[in-house]
Structure 1
């Protein structure tokens, strides 16, 4: 099982996704697209993971590799290979299949409640979760669903929290990879950004981490295992 992991920012954490890939014995290759490393070759990998970043999904001028990455995600999906886009990755996947990117339309931060749709209840990945679950959010943008996409999860802040195109191309707006260790690392790297985005959250963190963080970790690892099971090794 060969999996390409595309990073869009310097501080990228594989978290629960990395744990699930390791437990499955996957061989991974990390591509720092933000540092202009060449994007992976479709034929060399069985699956593609695209993580988040501070840029928006239409920021082609500052990040000229984005159109190529969008095209690559679509080619993986059209080839029936598993794709996982998280946060920015989900917005790029929506763009790849004709969705609109809505910049600044859905700010959200912290551990938040998310609900499965009826399609999510029947989905091979989302079906591993209860109807309502917690996951970590950190985004400002959202997207419209591409034509033909299965709408899998939603909440009040951003209706399109998860979707699937075809068999196994998944976009997740929420950071289910972000376990408590990942969140603590983000707190270390970006305290000023977090305080501006959600004033007082850093002070509240010790209270909410043992409850919300633990529940989010459980849901995230279950999702990661379920997505990894969609990979078909060549």
Structure 2
């Protein structure tokens, strides 16, 4: 099993998705597209695709000219029946690739917050792996409309479209379920100045947030394993 992973920003690791891929001994082909590494022309050499998050928006083509090609590549994988996972910015690019609207510049949703499954998620092969409501980490302001034919899977208080599926195995998931407490801890150091601009009080009380919401790791790993099983 060979999985293409597209990284769009520094220090945005696979986290729990990486753990689930290691468990099945998947080979990971990492492309740091934001640093200019080339994307493959098609899906021929890979069995699945993961597109990670990033600080840029999904329409920032002038600064990141590979974004249109990445959106097309996402659809190529999906149309070929292969499993696709877009997380945060990745989910916005899945939406773009399938013709939905990218909605830029909303208020930031940050920290551990509850997500609620939609009615259609009870029978979904990935979202059915978690409870009806669960805490998970968020860090985004942009969002998207649902692509035509997509199944709505989850929402939060601030964001109506937190997760969707297209076809058998193309997933756009806005929240950072890959970010276990270890990865969030890393982000609090690497991105400290950015977080302070969003919510300096959150940093001051980080220990309390970690103690209260750390069990979110279990939901994230369950989602990761369920998606990997679709490859």
CA distance in 2, matches of 1:198, 1:97: 33
Pairing 1:23–2:31 present: no
- Cα RMSD (Å) of the superposition? 0.8
Structure 1 residues not aligned, in runs of 5+: none
Alpha-carbon offset, residue 106 of structure 1: 4.5
Structure 1 residue 199: Cα displacement: 2.5
Equivalent position of 1:53 in the other structure = 54
SS where residue 43 of structure 1 aligns? coil
Aligned counterparts of 1:12 and 1:130: Cα–Cα separation in 2: 26
1:197 has 2:209 as partner: no
Q: Structure 1 residues 227 and 106, CA, compared in 2 at 3 Å: closer, same or farther?
A: farther
Tell me, what secondary structure is at the counterpart of 2:116?
strand
Q: Hey, which bits of structure 1, 4+ residues long, moved more than 3 A?
A: none
Residues of 2 paired with 1:73 and 1:4: CA distance? 11
Cα separation, 2, equivalents of 1:17 and 1:6: 13
Aligned counterparts of 1:55 and 1:92: Cα–Cα separation in 2: 11
Partner of 1:211: 212
TM-score by length of 2: 0.98
TM normalised by structure 1 equals: 0.97
- Aligned equivalent of 1:164: 165
SS of equivalent residue, structure 1 residue 83: strand
Point out the more displaced range, 203-212 or 180-189. 203-212
Give SS of 1:114's match. Answer: strand
SS at 1:4 equivalent: strand
User: Is structure 2 residue 176 aligned with structure 1 residue 155?
Assistant: no
2: distance between equivalents of 1:149 and 1:182?
Answer: 30
Task: Tell me if 1:62 matches 2:76.
Answer: no
Residue aligned with 1:198, SS: helix
State whether residues 4 and 48 of structure 1, in contact with CA within 8 Å, keep that contact through their aligned partners in structure 2.
yes
Structure 1 residue matching 2:153: 3-state secondary structure = strand
Separation of aligned partners in 2, 1:14 and 1:65: 20
Task: Give the Å deviation of 1:105.
Answer: 2.1
Give the structure 1 partner of residue 227 of structure 2.
227
Q: Count matched residues.
A: 230
Q: List per-residue Cα deviations over 1:192-220 (Å, max 9, x = no partner).
A: 1101112300111101202202x210000
